[in-house]
Structure 1
Amino acid sequence: MTNLDYVRSHFPILDQEVNEHPLVYLDSAATSQKPKSVIEALEGYYNRYNSNVHRGVHTLGSHATDGYEGAREKVKNFINASSIKETIFMRGTTTALNTVAYSYARTNLSEGDEIVLTLMEHHSNIIPWQQAAKATGATLKYLPLQEDGTISLDDVREMVTEKTKIVAMAHVSNVLGTINPIKEVAQIAHENDAVIVVDGAQSVPHMSVDVQDLDVDFYAFSAHKMCGPTGVGVLYGKQSLLEEMEPVEFGGEMIDFVELYDSTWKELPWKFEGGTPIIAGAIGLGAAIDYLNEIGMEQIEKHEHELVQYALEQMNTIDGITIYGPNERAGLVTFNLDDVHPHDLATALDSLGVAVRAGHHCAQPLMKHLQVAATARASFYMYNNKQDVDVFVDGLKKAKEYFGDVF
């Protein structure tokens, strides 16, 4: 990063001590920290123009509508969607994936059809497809993983056939850090008349994403992992597909006309945004996009790549450590330390002010594949530096020494 101190100064939460140690926050894959500009955008909405959107003609309502729909325009440009009709505000990645699985899959799948997934998927990109398969008689198929935690395009070509109707895949694994070849997989899917649904929760915050270049059919991501607030995310879908889909929530905002025995829906994207919209969240997401654009996605990706490579080098000097995933990866490292339970390790690191995540990371099928019950994970973002890595690695060494003495 060109000026890391400048970036870090935007995140007030980092300027504190945890357990009498300076905070080292290495859990951005779970949720990122928020810059002052995003916090101020949320405060500005609630302090100056808190109002519902769209129907009100008064000044506050107009201001809120401009902020809400302006955020949609920012999302469209950020991922290079072709129209705002393709960018739908939802509660997050999970809701977006469930919407596709319920509205698109249950309408378009039938017995004998196949849904192709990978073993590295987050539960949010497994369970909705399980339920869709049970409801329609479709079958789930899982792409195998290579030894380094990547997928093979040869396996994709073999498994995706004329029976395949949906391919669902993470752009970046939240456990392995694997960056999947989405553009190539999308081409294979389309050659077989299948659609591709992408979980972008771990990609959109960390790299430039162009949905038109990738040629994905659906793409989902969450604001809270990209410097925005919790409770809001985006479903991108090709307009032609979204036009054919029915809403999954019914009520205010998404209607056109309501009669006693029938109703009609608004045009895209509003037909999928039933109820009072996530106004503050969308405005906060818009401010987060402004911030990411200011820093530069290429700068962020480059910085995280250098940081994770440095972390891997330092971690590999520790005896008894197992690191999962490929060498070339996104900015996270999932690992285990011999004879130390991941939760004990995370607790020991927390006592030193270092925040990491421990558990199955909502990826139990992957844990089973790795033959572990749980792992620890350190994940990096634009505001982390090599000093953070050094403190983290030193904490690993201290924990190894401590637990070695205990046992």
Structure 2
Amino acid sequence: MSIAAEKNVFDVEKIRKDFPILQREVNNYPLVYFDNAATSQTPQQVIDAIVDYYLNYNANIHRGVHTLSQEATDKYEAARKKIQKHFNAEKSHEIIFTSGATHGINLVASGFSAILKEGDEILVSALEHHSNIVPWQMICEKTGAKLNVIPMNEDGELVYTAFEELLSEKTKIVFLNHVSNALGTVNPIKKVIDKAHAAGAAVLIDGAQAAPHIKADVQALDVDFYVVSAHKMCGPTGVGVLYGKEEWLNKLPPYQGGGEMIATVTFEKTTYADLPHKFEAGTPNICGGIAFGAALDYLDNIGFDAIAAYEQDLLEYATKKLLEIKGMRIYGVAKEKTSVVSFNIEGLHPYDIGTIVDKLGIAVRTGHHCAQPIMDFYKIPGTVRASFSFYNTRAEIDRFIEAVEKARAMLS
């Protein structure tokens, strides 16, 4: 049972004490960190795991008979099992360590370059981050496959009927995010997966933005590939995971060649290692993988139901307060959203708003959020994006609202 469930209360002040960075000041103001969709902050428990690795058992893994190497290997593989359990993968070797979600997407896209041929079609959603667009464009140029786009509507939701019309026996893979990084929209991925499978297509889900808020069960979803980044989940940067069904991972060729991913090597021929090592060439981010496991321990101990309920309250409170500001427009008003508010104020540039609120100690993201097609759809250069996590508070939102009001007054 999680701490939050056991006490039947969400003690945000106790949680905030776990995050050292939340105690600092920016421009002589207490930090308000509302850029969680870009990267989350790191609790002391995860920092301790990183320090422990470098202090006590820093060594390369899978290769040494000495004690430090064996200890590091055991911790790294234990982290893989934690990740397997968290996402409910059937087998631990279906968990491939990567440098992040972008790496995982590129790994799958590269593998499909050996499968796709001219005349094949692949489907992407209009809500994607560039990292789930550009790799597939590159593969289409290489293979002659056609890229089709599932459109979005004014509310920031996918047009599901259009997806059904675009799907055909020519469709080989469908890829979309679980949650939009720019708008917070939660996509109906289970419906998409089931429909795509009925047409014979594989499905890749970019879970980078969903994983901090939603505990995905990859077996229940029946998804073929699911990618996440640790740094969105209170873990370190430079590490992530690709989940892939065993049958699909066996079909795809290796993404990179090098040490660790081989069984035998001669100058005449190389044979590849079994999963997961086939896709894990070279020395991995050992400390990062171990710390990712520690981050999942931390999040699971709080409990994702408690996290979701608390963040939903923050989202509703911030949305209500923002809409009271003159000239406010919120982009992305889907029925199902995570704790992201993307907005503009009439006549003001988002960069200018972001700059002023930063002077008041408040961190938000401005721009197109690596989702330029979404901004083109709305015919805007970008938005101000405030993204909330379970360690944020209503009091911080109040400060943010005051700062936005001050920016509007200064810039109008």
Q: So what's the TM-score if we normalise by structure 1?
A: 0.98
Shift of 1:305: 0.9
**Cα offsets for 1:75-121 (capped at 9, x unmatched):** 10011100011100000000100010011x21111111111111110
Deviation at 1:34, TM superposition (A): 0.1
Which of 320, 323, 327 aligns to 2:327? It is 320
Partner of 1:117: 124
Letter matched to residue 265 of structure 2: V
Which amino acid is the alignment partner of residue 360 of structure 2? L
Could you list the per-position Cα deviations for residues 37-82 of structure 1 after superposition, in whole angstroms to 9, with x for gaps in the alignment? 1000000000000000012111111110011101000110011100
- Secondary structure at the aligned position of 2:330 is classed as strand
Q: C-alpha deviations, 1:100-146, integer Å up to 9, x for none?
A: 0011x211111111111111100000001101111111111111112
Q: Which runs of 4+ in 1 moved over 4 A?
A: none
The answer to whether the aligner puts 1:142 opposite 2:130 as a matched pair is no
Q: Does 1:3 align with 2:49?
A: no
**How far has the Cα of 1:250 moved from its partner?**
0.8
Structure 1 SS opposite 2:114 = helix
* Letter paired with 1:256: A
How many Å separate the matches in 1 of 2:347 and 2:23?
34
Equivalents in 2 of 1:327, 1:261: separation in Å?
A: 56
Corresponding residue for 1:364?
A: 372
2:361 partner amino acid = G
Per mean C-alpha deviation after superposition, the further-off stretch among 318-327 and 221-230 is 318-327
1:327 Cα deviation from its structure 2 partner: 4.7
Match of 1:72 in 2: 80
Match of 2:67 in 1: 59
C-alpha distance in structure 1 between counterparts of 2:103 and 2:387, whole Å:
24
Counterparts of 1:50 and 1:10, CA distance in 2? 25
Q: What does 1:310-349 correspond to in 2, within 5 Å?
A: 310-328=317-335, 329-349=337-357
Verify the 8 A CA contact 2:307 2:390 in the aligned structure 1.
yes
* Distance in 1 (alpha carbons) for counterparts of 2:255 and 2:100: 15
Matched, 1:354 2:359: no
Partner of 1:250: 257
1:336 match: secondary structure = strand
- Correspondence for 2:90: 82
Residues 126 and 158 in structure 2, CA contact (< 8 A), matched pair in contact too: no
Matched residue, 2:138? 131
Stretches of structure 1 that go unaligned for 5 or more consecutive residues are: none
Match of 1:401 among 405, 409, 412: 409
Q: Which whole-Å deviations, capped at 9, do the CAs of 1:258-310 have from their partners, x for residues lacking one?
A: 11211111110111000011100001101000000111111111111111011
134-143 or 326-335, which moves further after superposition? 326-335
**8 Å contact from structure 2 (residues 87, 217) kept in 1:** yes
- Paired residue for 1:177? 184
**For residues 253 and 11 of structure 1, what CA distance do their matches in structure 2 show?**
36
> 1:172 & 1:275 partners in 2: Cα distance?
31
2:49 corresponding residue in structure 1: 41
Distance 2:50 2:215 in 1: 25
RMSD over equivalenced CA pairs, Å: 0.9
Q: What whole-Å deviation, never above 9, does each CA across 1:295-329 have from its counterpart, x for those lacking one?
A: 11111111111110111000010110110002531
**What secondary structure, in the 3-state scheme, does the structure 2 residue paired with 1:300 have?**
helix
For the 8 Å contact 2:205–2:225, the answer to whether it is kept is yes
Aligned to 2:172, the other structure's residue is in SS state strand
Q: CA deviation at 1:388?
A: 1.1
Which whole-Å CA distance do the structure 2 matches of 1:65 and 1:327 have between them? 44
**Cα deviation, residue 148, structure 1:** 0.5
Residue 2 of structure 1 aligns with an amino acid whose one-letter code is F
Give the superposition deviation at 1:220.
Answer: 0.5
C-alpha contact (below 8 Å) 1:156/1:188 kept by paired residues: no
Give the corresponding residue for 2:394: 386
- Structure 1 Cα separation of the partners of residues 219 and 371 of structure 2: 29
What is the deviation of 1:153? 2.5
* Separation in 2, partners of 1:343, 1:217: 39
Partner of 1:27: 35
Q: Distance in 1 between matches of 2:279 and 2:178?
A: 24
Per the alignment, in what secondary structure is the counterpart of residue 183 of structure 2? coil
**TM-score (norm: length of structure 2):** 0.97
Residue 108 of structure 1 aligns with an amino acid whose one-letter code is I
Match of 1:151 among 147, 150, 158: 158
Which amino acid in the other structure matches residue 173 of structure 1? Answer: S
Deviations 1:166-216 (A, max 9, x none): 111000000111000111100010011001111100001111110111111
Equivalent position SS for 1:141: strand
Q: State, as a whole percentage, how many aligned pairs show the same letter.
A: 49
Could you tell me whether the CA contact under 8 Å between 2:156 and 2:334 is conserved in 1? no
